[in-house]
Amino acid sequence: MPEKDAAPSETPAAEAGAEGGAAKPEVKEEAAAAAPPQKTMKSVVLTGFGSMKMIKVQQKPEPKLADGEVLIRVKACGMSFPDLMVRQGVIDNPPKTPLILGFECAGEVEAVGENVTDFSVGDRVIALTDFKAWAELVSVSANTVYKIPDNMSFHDGAALLMNYITAYVLLFDLANLRKGQSLLIHSAAGGVGVDIVLDCLCGEDTNRGISILKPMGKYLLYGSSNIVTGETKSFFSFAKSWWQVDKVNPIKLSDDNKCVGGFQLRRLLFRQSQYGYVRNVVDSLLDLYRQGKIHPTIDSVWAFEDVGEGMQKLHDRKNIGKILLDPSKEPVPKTQGKGCEQAEANVENGPGEKSESAVNGE
Amino acid sequence: MPEKDAAPSETPAAEAGAEGGAAKPEVKEEAAAAAPPQKTMKSVVLTGFGSMKMIKVQQKPEPKLADGEVLIRVKACGMSFPDLMVRQGVIDNPPKTPLILGFECAGEVEAVGENVTDFSVGDRVIALTDFKAWAELVSVSANTVYKIPDNMSFHDGAALLMNYITAYVLLFDLANLRKGQSLLIHSAAGGVGVDIVLDCLCGEDTNRGISILKPMGKYLLYGSSNIVTGETKSFFSFAKSWWQVDKVNPIKLSDDNKCVGGFQLRRLLFRQSQYGYVRNVVDSLLDLYRQGKIHPTIDSVWAFEDVGEGMQKLHDRKNIGKILLDPSKEPVPKTQGKGCEQAEANVENGPGEKSESAVNGE
């Protein structure tokens, strides 16, 4: 994919046409006729696949609320490896750019669509979304919105959602973790046998990882952070994973008393529609939170304008805990002499350019 | 394998040489010198791989007790598909014949070897053995012997052991069965998706079975009863299973949110030495039995001399519940005009021939 397949200047109109039905000539009559002055919101937009430079903070039309959806005023957004993979275009069936990034957020219900019975305006919620979560407002199917306890901050909610669901499913449904078992969180293991391997790297080490499993061991793939390597090139590492990982014979697995499987949360929700399964997991997690048994660790919270810096930290695996975005947060003032790499990541937002960046989409 | 690679007449001496050190000329000096008149016991012997005819009831030397072993006076023996597979020679690394059949029994401890601290003479126990359980006496590593509650009959004990361990491990460790989940016990499914498939058939239906799994579904192989087809020929169905079952790509499994694995109890114990894991499972099962939550169903109990009839019933899948052997049970009197097939299965034991059969090994 070329880095600049969508120039920033043509972005807003196209997006508005797709989402708000305002500006494009081929828009339907009724929408055009009814259109009041379009309200906009700040959002983190991927303008094309590639490096950090492809991410811009832009004004976008506020989302419309469809049947069964909940409109959320976003207070915190979670960031994780799938966001990096989307930026690089290394997911299958990549969506068209420009798009608003983001798969999870916490916030307050601002409006509820028809046929939504479980939520009311003012509810404090967390939500899993199929893109579009990194904005001041997002409209989400009620199927993937979850109320949070009063004592849970929005930051905690956004930090807990995706990562804790994955951990919970892997350990307590798939691996069925028991007292005394050994657990290896990636696959680059030594020669010792382990009971459970959680592999998010998924490459040539995967074959070795399966081979070092103890009898009754379980090898579980999740995500594929190995694919996120350099800044841009990564289709090849994606393909490489497929070639490097050997197919396994179910009969041999059985003879060895081993299990192999995996978990991909976004697929489970947005392709396989397993809302009930995920809701049960979220309920369990919120119970654990209420009981004080789990508490997410937050590495850092960034303004939308500083999304590049947060993303770079995640890319470099320098975070300890969750990286969050907060739409209400002021961007960190930039010093003139700042290192080039970080400045690049800080999307089009040099010193004194804040207003330009903020209205970039208008 | 030819059906008659070991003629019955040469069997006893060979076996005695291997086990008791008594009759063969090449036996060691000390053993020959110390040998008292060899005590014998009744046992169910496979004289060569093939049809029911290869099974004989013979007198064999009583087993010697080694360090770490427990000598058990057998009161009941369990029969299951692995016994049929052994008879047909369709296990990998088949042992040499003649051999005493049987993988599980219940009985009373008659003697304990050195370094055995957990058992005493008179203990009521169940045991998993690597062959040799279908005899009046068996010597077993204490690693795979388990005390049973006072209120558990030997028949219940032998009926519960292997089948319940397998069911328990598959459902509660590997499949992690939860309320409301659908479960399919073989793989010849319709088109509907299921949460869990337990597949003991393992053939071309396995591929289809994996494909109809629901998201978060688990496909588990155990045993391979598909291999037990006709009376004798079965190497080809064994090989066929390997060719028919497609290898699976771990990445695709993960993308589909599925797991594939399996469980082979005998391998887990006798090749992988996972005694502690199995003991924990047996403890859980005996607790459930004590609480009245499980109670094994017994289909029928047979004398050693009628082993062929029991085996035929299992082969024909006509049993409902466990098929047991009981060394103290008198054989069913045979009528002269009995159907040929059943009479053949009833090992060399026509009316009035009992004494010949019983001393067949002397």
In the prediction, which pLDDT does A237 show? 57
CA-based nearest residue to A213, from A174, A241, A253, A242: A253
A254 touches chain B (CB under 8 A): yes
Structure tokens at B95: 């042992």
Query: Looking at CA atoms only, how far is residue A320 from chain B in angstroms?
Result: 26
CB contact under 8 A, B262 and A247: no
ipTM: 0.76
CB contact under 8 A, A245 and B263: no
Size of interface A-B (CB pairs under 8 A): 144
CB contact under 8 A, A261 and B248: no
Is the model's pLDDT at A38 over the cut of 90? no
Cα nearest neighbour of B267 on chain A = A255
Confidence of residue B33 (pLDDT cuts 50, 70, 90): low
Q: Do residues A50 and A151 share a domain?
A: yes
B241 touches chain A (CB under 8 A): yes
Q: Do residues B310 and B230 share a domain?
A: no
In the prediction, which pLDDT does A235 show? 53
In the prediction, which pLDDT does A225 show? 54
Tens digit of each residue's pLDDT (9 = 90 or more) over A109-144 = 999 999 999 999 999 999 999 999 999 999 999 999
CB contact under 8 A, A248 and B245: no
In the prediction, which pLDDT does B308 show? 95
In the prediction, which pLDDT does B176 show? 86
Q: CB–CB of B66/B23 below 8 Å?
A: no
Looking at residues A30-51, what average pLDDT do you find?
Answer: 81
- Residue B67: alpha-carbon gap to chain centroid: 24
% of chain B with per-residue pLDDT over 70: 73
**A166 interaction partners in chain B (CB closer than 8 Å):** none
CB contact under 8 A, A245 and B250: yes
CA-based nearest residue to A173, from B24, B216, B50, B183: B216
Phi and psi, residue B176, nearest 5°: 55, 50
Structure tokens at B289: 């039995």
Is the model's pLDDT at B65 over the cut of 90? yes
Q: Is A52 among the domain residues?
A: yes
| Residue ranges making up the domain that contains B99 | 40-161+273-325
Confidence of residue A17 (pLDDT cuts 50, 70, 90): very low
Q: Do residues A241 and A279 share a domain?
A: no
Q: Do residues B149 and B277 share a domain?
A: yes
Structure tokens at B20: 């008791």
Query: Looking at CA atoms only, how far is residue B142 from chain A in angstroms?
Result: 21
Q: Do residues B100 and B198 share a domain?
A: no
- Report the mean per-residue pLDDT for chain B: 80
Q: Do residues B220 and B319 share a domain?
A: no
What is the number of domains present in chain A? 2
Q: Is A35 among the domain residues?
A: no
* Higher pLDDT, residue A92 or A231: A92
% of chain A with per-residue pLDDT over 70: 73
**Lowest-confidence pick of A139-148, B308-317, B333-342:** B333-342
Query: Looking at CA atoms only, how far is residue A251 from chain B in angstroms?
Result: 7
- Residue B84: alpha-carbon gap to chain centroid: 8
Q: Is B3 among the domain residues?
A: no
Is the model's pLDDT at B115 over the cut of 80? yes
Q: CB–CB of B221/A251 below 8 Å?
A: yes
CB contact under 8 A, B257 and A263: yes
Q: Is B22 among the domain residues?
A: no
A211 touches chain B (CB under 8 A): no
B249 touches chain A (CB under 8 A): yes
Last residue of one domain, picked from the residues A231, A262, A293 = A262
Looking at residues B25-45, what average pLDDT do you find?
Answer: 69
Is the model's pLDDT at B117 over the cut of 70? yes
CA-based nearest residue to A173, from A218, A126, A225, A127: A218
CB contact under 8 A, B261 and A259: yes
**A220 interaction partners in chain B (CB closer than 8 Å):** 254, 259
**Lowest-confidence pick of A79-93, A109-123, A319-333, B302-316:** A79-93
In the prediction, which pLDDT does B345 show? 38
Is the model's pLDDT at B120 over the cut of 90? yes
Q: Do residues A118 and A193 share a domain?
A: no
Last residue of one domain, picked from the residues A239, A262, A285 = A262
Query: Looking at CA atoms only, how far is residue B222 from chain A in angstroms?
Result: 7
Tens digit of each residue's pLDDT (9 = 90 or more) over B131-187 = 999 999 999 999 999 999 999 999 999 999 999 999 999 998 998 888 888 887 765
In the prediction, which pLDDT does B240 show? 61
Q: Do residues A105 and A228 share a domain?
A: no
CB contact under 8 A, B216 and A242: no
Q: Is B247 among the domain residues?
A: yes
Confidence of residue A45 (pLDDT cuts 50, 70, 90): very high
Structure tokens at A17: 């046409």
Q: Do residues A292 and A205 share a domain?
A: no
What does pTM read for this prediction? 0.76
Q: Do residues A45 and A156 share a domain?
A: yes
Q: Is A167 among the domain residues?
A: no
In the prediction, which pLDDT does A130 show? 93
Q: Is B357 among the domain residues?
A: no
Q: Is A208 among the domain residues?
A: yes
Could you tell me whether strands A124-128 and A104-112 are parallel, antiparallel, or unpaired per DSSP bridges?
antiparallel
In the prediction, which pLDDT does B225 show? 54
- The CATH number given to whatever domain includes residue B69 is 3.90.180.10
Looking at residues B304-313, what average pLDDT do you find?
Answer: 96
Last residue of one domain, picked from the residues B262, B289, B314 = B262
A243 touches chain B (CB under 8 A): no
Q: Do residues A240 and A191 share a domain?
A: yes
CB contact under 8 A, B253 and A261: yes
Is the model's pLDDT at B119 over the cut of 90? yes
**B177 interaction partners in chain A (CB closer than 8 Å):** none
Phi and psi, residue B124, nearest 5°: -90, 125
Confidence of residue A59 (pLDDT cuts 50, 70, 90): very high
Nearest to A254 among B221, B254, B272 (CB): B221
**A218 interaction partners in chain B (CB closer than 8 Å):** 259, 261
Taking only Cα atoms into account, the Rg of chain A, rounded to an integer number of angstroms, comes to 21
Q: Do residues A179 and A148 share a domain?
A: no
